[in-house]
Amino acid sequence: MTVPPDDRVFRREMATAYRSGWHFIDLVTAIPHRGDSLMVTLFGEPIVVAREEDEDVRAYRCLRRPRGAPQPVRCAIRYGMIFVNLDQRDHQMAEPDTTTATPRSA
């Protein structure tokens, strides 16, 4: 695909996608059947994208420490393409606000 360098819309969309943390992995046709998987390295991190038994496509970050279970990574399919989001802020569990306050007596 050739894009003219002065295409402002394309540059804006690419900048938005890059800032959002979503990265293109491959086409969905790369893992057509249940149990198929694809391993890629994204920014030095090994990522496994697999088609699960329920036909959903999921991505996992492979941890290098011993006995480390694969860590789920946000995965989305748009227009037949697989995207993953490696931004750590999107993967942390939000803790409820446990701020306590002592009411003042009137």
Q: What is the 3-state secondary structure (H, E, C) of 37-85?
A: EEEEEECCEEEEEEECCCCCEEEEECCCCCCCCCEEEEEEEECCEEEEE
Quote the pLDDT of residue 93.
44
At 101 the pLDDT is 54
Q: How far apart are CA 33 and CA 24, in angstroms?
A: 20
CA 52 to chain centre: 16
pTM of the predicted structure, to 2 decimals? 0.60
103 has a pLDDT exceeding 70: no
Give the model's pLDDT for residue 36: 92
